[in-house]
Amino acid sequence: MTNHFWRYSHLALAVSSFLFLLLASITGAILSAEPVLDRIKPYAAKNIDALNLAQAIPVLRQNYPGITKISVESNQFVLIEGTDKAGDAIKAYVEPTSGRIIGKPTKKNEFFQWVTSLHRSLFLHEIGRIFIGLTAFLLMLIAISGITLTIKRQRGIRRFLAKIPNDGSAQYYHTIVGRLSLVFILLIAVSGTYLSLNTLRIIKPVKTNVNVDFDKIKSGPQKNIKDFEVFKNISLSEVQTIEFPFSEDVEDYYTLTLKDREVAVNQVTGVVIAESKYPFSVLVSNLSMTIHTGRGSALWAVILGIASLSILFFIYSGFVITLKRISSRTKNKYKKEESTYILLVGSENGTTNRYASAVLKLLIKQGKKAYITSMNDYAVYPRAEHFLIFTSTYGIGEPPANANKFLSLVDEIQQINPIRYSVLGFGSKSYPDFCKFAFDVHNNLSAKSWATPLIDVHTVDDRSPADLTLWQESWSQQSGISFEDFAGTSKEKPKRLRTFSVESNTNFGDTFLIELQGRGKLKAKSGDLLAIYPANDHRERLYSIGVLNRKIQLSVKLHENGLGSGFLHSLNAADELKARVVKNNHFHFPVKASSVIMISNGTGIAPFLGMIDENNEKISCHLYCGFKNTQAFEPFKAFLNNKLAETKLAKLNVAYSREGDKQYVSDLVNIDSDLIAKKLIESSVIMICGSLSMQKDILQVLERICQEHTNHPLSFYQSRNQILTDCY
């Protein structure tokens, strides 16, 4: 069944009963102290397990001839009732071996009686009992739906107790506390429901008393109590009560109330004259009572108390979660028909939603017509130009509840206008299927003729501000939307720019290599990005960094009227520029991988040059790179041949799109399908850097390879960080 169903049942049940639950759990927690306090009363008799009735009864009878009843409470207190030698009424705890009085029972604590009454019936008698009974029943349903949700979240019952990543949210603690106490809460709820059914007389556990046939009672042979066989076989601890014969008349008998039956014993002959086993309903009723009240076990009572307190916590944290979810719902200012920016949100909780709403606000503030909706409400957007997709992943790489129909909807519904899209995945790397659904969405859209990625798919690990900033900067650069007054992430420190000096700037046709030397220690790694501000304003341009000989190397293609490339191209050796390094952790060389496949086109080769150069471990690296022609490859040729000789690079494959066979790099990858599939299965890492259109082709080839040669879709490997991309 869908997650939706369980989630909403869980919430609806909780909301409808929380006031009664609050009351019942507070009073329940208080009442759990009673068995504990009882337990520590100093009236316990010693070793009543070892004492049988044939030993205990004669002693007590001798000391108290007027004894009428023995009760054994909590398996350890022996209470006698009757009259003492002076004929006065007596009720006391005794030591059954000697008959010595240990203490007198105190009156039931009035406070506990008051709380018990509140707990059972809210002082409202029958009506209150019905309410409390319903509350217990609802609590049972809440516990069941909660257990189901936890199992779903943990992806299987066997992983019920598996680690949950701690994101410090109310939801995390709700789940953590939940799986520890849900079973106990379920027990409380089930037993409470049963007890309510009893007191409301819907289920009637009828105790049948022993049915003695007085005609068959014999008055001989007479035996001593200490020789009664039945008394010898029952230890005092098995007994709940012993009722003594009311008179010496042979028709009056001993009645033993045991845990599962009642026994009548002839007071003269010691013969069992009747026995009555309790019906099942009585046993269940007794068990429910024991479970629900914790009587007789201080430890269980403590557990019950903690479980009751945890219900209070659930009420609190449940409301926090719900309020967050509600508050992250946003109202649209513009209609979907008139909006150019469409924000599609797939989210199980408020974080993703809140971020998307902040982006919406930013767009609207800048005069853009933007519209936000759930991914499942995907439709035709006649004026749309941009899709911004914010999504988390649920369970085993599954879509969140409000996005589960998205992929099929995208297949069905074509957009009229060409759409530039960007996917931002929210998730946590502590889960194996990190942002899998985001990758699915990105791959799926990239196969559509009307959709082109504006920037590469981005992921956010545990709400990392750095990851968010990276997406903002990348998207901002391509869309021209400034994120300066953005409220979505906590205020960043003012960007500190560093001064770099140009070591060299070499032209090769329309591409050029520029080498930069930073002042002081270089903190960049190959794969990081260099942000430059060509016009000294908010406009930022990002370039992939290759680190060679501790210098930053950028390879840049000169665009006509290109703001960034024009600026970089104009630099000469010894010139200085202000820039900063943007950490791009997801695109660093995977030092732990068994082997690495690098795929690039054009200047996308830049980070790979640095990585290959640093590959001192000589991890097997295959490079597939595409260029327009041999001339464009010229700047890298000597360097790469050198690395082949040093075995830092295992294999080099070059495709020329305008010369010879006119191949694209995706064609080369296609040819090596078998090798690629084998590498993926062996947990190798594929890194892709270059243009987004190249990435689109490569992803399609890889998707086909995965479908045909491995048992998983491409997104399986993407979510396991085996496919790393940095495209623009």
Give, for 589, the enclosing helix (H) or strand (E): none
- Structural contact between residues 73 and 79, judged by C-beta atoms closer than 8 angstroms: yes
- Structural contact between residues 177 and 143, judged by C-beta atoms closer than 8 angstroms: no
DSSP state for residue 550 in the 8-state scheme: T
Residue 202 engages another protein in binding (rule: CB under 8 A): no
Give the other-Cβ count within 10 Å of 548's Cβ: 18
Tell which one of 246, 570, 646, 662 touches another protein (CB under 8 A): 246
Residue 34 engages another protein in binding (rule: CB under 8 A): no
Smallest separation (angstroms) from another protein to the CB of 206? 6
Residue 536 engages another protein in binding (rule: CB under 8 A): no
- Structural contact between residues 694 and 664, judged by C-beta atoms closer than 8 angstroms: yes
Tell which one of 41, 69, 324, 580 touches another protein (CB under 8 A): 69
Residue 247 engages another protein in binding (rule: CB under 8 A): yes
- Nearer to another protein among residue 86 and residue 326 (C-beta): 86
Site pattern 354..393 for another protein (x: CB under 8 A): ----------------------------------------
Query: E strands along 462-510, which residues?
Result: 498-508
Q: How many residues bind another protein (CB under 8 A)?
A: 26
- Nearer to another protein among residue 82 and residue 350 (C-beta): 82
Of 64-72, 167-175, 555-563, 647-655, the window that binds another protein (rule: CB under 8 A) is 64-72
What is the C-alpha to C-alpha distance for residues 458 and 438, in angstroms, rounded to an integer? 9
Smallest separation (angstroms) from another protein to the CB of 128? 10
Tell which one of 19, 103, 126, 662 touches another protein (CB under 8 A): 126
Tell which one of 58, 66, 99, 713 touches another protein (CB under 8 A): 66
Residues 6+ apart with CB under 8 A from 464: none
Q: Phi and psi of 309, rounded to 5°?
A: -65, -35
Residue 211 engages another protein in binding (rule: CB under 8 A): no
CA atoms within 13 Å, Cβ hemisphere of 426:
22
Q: Which amino acid, one-letter code, is at 75?
A: N
Query: E strands along 406-528, which residues?
Result: 419-427, 451-453, 458-461, 498-508, 511-518
Smallest separation (angstroms) from another protein to the CB of 60? 15
Tell which one of 46, 100, 125, 550 touches another protein (CB under 8 A): 125
- Nearer to another protein among residue 281 and residue 683 (C-beta): 281
Residue 613 engages another protein in binding (rule: CB under 8 A): no
Smallest separation (angstroms) from another protein to the CB of 101? 18
What is the C-alpha to C-alpha distance for residues 500 and 577, in angstroms, rounded to an integer? 5
- Structural contact between residues 356 and 385, judged by C-beta atoms closer than 8 angstroms: no
Smallest separation (angstroms) from another protein to the CB of 259? 16
Q: Could you give the angle at the alpha carbon of 496 between the alpha carbons of 490 and 498, nearest 5°? A: 155
Give, for 557, the enclosing helix (H) or strand (E): strand 551-557
Residues 6+ apart with CB under 8 A from 487: 358, 361, 362
Site pattern 165..184 for another protein (x: CB under 8 A): --------------------
Within residues 70-109, the interface with another protein by CB under 8 A covers 81-83, 87-89, 107-108
Of 61-69, 158-166, 390-398, 492-500, the window that binds another protein (rule: CB under 8 A) is 61-69
Angstrom distances, CA of residue 61 to CA of 58, 253, 256, 589: 5, 15, 16, 89
- Structural contact between residues 139 and 21, judged by C-beta atoms closer than 8 angstroms: yes
Distance of CA 102 to the CA centre of its chain: 54
Smallest separation (angstroms) from another protein to the CB of 139? 23
DSSP state for residue 376 in the 8-state scheme: G
Within residues 564-593, the interface with another protein by CB under 8 A covers none
- Structural contact between residues 676 and 717, judged by C-beta atoms closer than 8 angstroms: no
Residue 295 engages another protein in binding (rule: CB under 8 A): no
Of 62-70, 304-312, 410-418, 543-551, the window that binds another protein (rule: CB under 8 A) is 62-70
Residue 489 engages another protein in binding (rule: CB under 8 A): no
- Nearer to another protein among residue 107 and residue 491 (C-beta): 107
What interhelical angle do 170-199 and 280-293 show, nearest 10?
Answer: 140
Of 44-52, 207-215, 291-299, 625-633, the window that binds another protein (rule: CB under 8 A) is 207-215
Q: What are the residues binding another protein (CB under 8 A)?
A: 66, 68-69, 81-83, 87-89, 107-108, 113, 125-126, 198-199, 201, 204, 206-209, 243, 246-247, 255
